[in-house]
Amino acid sequence: MREQLQRIAGEAMAMINEVQDMKALEELRVLFLGKKGKLTGILKGMGALSAEERPVVGQIANDVRNKLEDEISRIKGKLARKIREEKMKRETLDVSIPGTVIPRGRKHPLTLVLDEMKEVFLGMGYDIAEGPEVELDYYNFEALNIPKNHPARDEQDSFYINDKVVLRSQTSPVQVRVMEQKKPPIKIICPGRVYRSDAVDATHSPVFNQIEGLVVDKGITMGDLIGTLQIFAKSLFGENTKIRLRPHHFQFTEPSAEVDVSCWACGGKGCRVCKNEGWIEILGAGMVHPKVLENCGIDPKIYNGFAFGIGLERTAMGRFNIDDLRLFYENDMRFLKQF
Ligand code: DAH
């Protein structure tokens, strides 16, 4: 039995020393020292020994057990160190290596100008309203006093989805949606995309942006409209900017006007940008037509108001001195990086 123990001890020591990982080491521990292990197996046969032999063999068995346990824990420590070292090596971080540069984004020039415009109108107490881009013909035309077959529809060649649904050709339908929902006083702007079946050139695009404005209250005058537009024009194009109203016709305002600002390039003297006019048209405006108020359930005998529609691209072209509207949509980084 002594030899048996010695042999097992030798065998175990050799195997333990060869072990390369924790799992194998644990397997060996079970193989030799576990409940059904080889050492335990031998000890079970101790009953057959004589009374003198038993304590001696027991002592040897204990020594073997202790020796194996010590060796196992020594190897365990060695493996743990090795694992830790490998992990450290894997995770070394060279803080001196230059990082990956993530290019910083910036706002699109149209967004920059829209932000400026919002700032101006929010400062005057306006709220921001929204409406759908896929709009009912009723809101885009009918309710704005533009009945079917009216020639005013031709000016806004529209994309129809079906008889009743159209891609809105102007932001004016939001006026109606707001007035249906809210009683005066109303003071809103509505920025958004609009659609017209126009061919693309330096000043036209089938998709562009407008900013609608609407004020409805008691005793609103044309003077209020002009004052508001003056503040807007000066804020965007500079203190010396003047505005000019030319009589015009819109179905949903009476009286109506087209509004020009003094040329941002030459200040009004006449140049290439303003085609020697000294003025550049940027918006339409007028006093809200009584019929439109009525269509929205607002009594025109009590309330009145003004409205305007500003072209965002036009304004941005002026603000940044850009001569071709297509630049806004081409996503050319050489252009966009300049803002
Ligand atoms: N909706 C008009 C257009 O797209 C612009 C406009 C003119 C809006 C007069 C208005 C307004 O609110 O009062 O041509």
3-class secondary structure for 51-118? Answer: CCHHHHHHHHHHHHHHHHHHHHHHHHHHHHHHHHHHHHHHCCCCCCCCCCCCCCCCCCHHHHHHHHHH
- pLDDT(321) > 80: yes
Per-residue confidence (pLDDT) for residue 45, from 0 to 100? 80
* Rounded distance from Cα 219 to ligand 1 centre (Å): 21
Mean pLDDT of 209-213: 98
Distance from C-alpha of 238 to C-alpha of 42, rounded to nearest angstrom: 102
Q: Which residues neighbour 69 within 8 Å (Cβ) at sequence distance 6 or greater?
A: 33
* 157-to-34, 95, 167, 173, 316 alpha-carbon distances in Å: 89, 61, 11, 16, 24
Mean pLDDT of 283-293: 98
**Percent residues over pLDDT 70 in the chain:** 99
Distance from C-alpha of 150 to C-alpha of 256, rounded to nearest angstrom: 18
Ligand 1 pocket, residue 172 CB under 6 Å: yes
Beta bridge partners of 209: 193
Per-residue confidence (pLDDT) for residue 40, from 0 to 100? 83
Do residues 118 and 191 touch, judged by C-beta distance below 8 A?
A: yes
* 122-to-27, 116, 128, 188, 237 alpha-carbon distances in Å: 75, 10, 8, 9, 18
Distance from C-alpha of 62 to C-alpha of 331, rounded to nearest angstrom: 82
Lowest mean pLDDT among 42-46, 162-166, 324-328: 42-46
Mean pLDDT of 223-241: 96
Per-residue confidence (pLDDT) for residue 142, from 0 to 100? 95
Ligand 1 pocket, residue 179 CB under 6 Å: no
Going by DSSP bridges, is the β-strand pair 186-195/127-128 parallel, antiparallel, or unpaired?
Answer: parallel
Per-residue confidence (pLDDT) for residue 334, from 0 to 100? 94
Distance from C-alpha of 7 to C-alpha of 25, rounded to nearest angstrom: 19
Q: Which two tokens stand for residue 307?
A: 């409205």
Confidence of residue 187 (pLDDT cuts 50, 70, 90): very high
Mean pLDDT of 275-302: 96
Beta bridge partners of 100: none
Per-residue confidence (pLDDT) for residue 50, from 0 to 100? 85
- pLDDT(46) > 90: no
Which amino acid appears at position 332 of this protein? D
Q: Which atom of ligand 1 is nearest to the CA of 175?
A: 12
Distance from C-alpha of 192 to C-alpha of 170, rounded to nearest angstrom: 9
CB-count burial class (<10 Å; 0-12, 13-18, 19+) for 314: buried
Is the link from the previous residue into 255 a cis peptide, with omega within 30 of 0?
Answer: yes
Residue-wise burial string across 66-86, b where 16 or more C-beta atoms lie within 10 A, e elsewhere: eebeebbeebbeebeeeeeee
Per-residue confidence (pLDDT) for residue 253, from 0 to 100? 98
CB-count burial class (<10 Å; 0-12, 13-18, 19+) for 28: buried
Distance from C-alpha of 18 to C-alpha of 10, rounded to nearest angstrom: 13
* Rounded distance from Cα 327 to ligand 1 centre (Å): 25
Mean pLDDT of 108-128: 97
Do residues 129 and 174 touch, judged by C-beta distance below 8 A?
A: yes
Distance from C-alpha of 193 to C-alpha of 207, rounded to nearest angstrom: 7
Per-residue confidence (pLDDT) for residue 149, from 0 to 100? 84
Q: What stretches of the chain adopt beta strand conformation (E)? A: 127-128, 134-136, 165-167, 186-195, 207-217, 243-248, 253-262, 279-288, 304-311
* Rounded distance from Cα 147 to ligand 1 centre (Å): 16
Confidence of residue 15 (pLDDT cuts 50, 70, 90): confident
- pLDDT(146) > 80: yes
Mean pLDDT of 216-232: 97
Mean pLDDT of 111-123: 97
The mean pLDDT value of the chain amounts to: 92
Distance from C-alpha of 95 to C-alpha of 74, rounded to nearest angstrom: 36
* Rounded distance from Cα 271 to ligand 1 centre (Å): 27
Ligand 1 pocket, residue 285 CB under 6 Å: yes
Lowest mean pLDDT among 3-7, 186-190, 199-203, 325-329: 3-7
* 155-to-140, 150, 152, 187, 222 alpha-carbon distances in Å: 13, 10, 6, 27, 25
Which amino acid appears at position 243 of this protein? I
Confidence of residue 24 (pLDDT cuts 50, 70, 90): confident
- pLDDT(320) > 80: yes
CA-based angle 281:286:291, to the nearest 5?
A: 140
HSE (side-chain half, CA atoms, 13 Å) at 307:
28
Ligand 1 pocket, residue 145 CB under 6 Å: no
Per-residue confidence (pLDDT) for residue 103, from 0 to 100? 86
pLDDT in tens, 52-108: 888 888 888 888 889 888 888 988 888 899 889 989 888 888 889 898 999 889 999
Per-residue confidence (pLDDT) for residue 243, from 0 to 100? 97
**Percent residues over pLDDT 90 in the chain:** 61
Ligand 1, atom 10, residue with closest C-alpha: 308
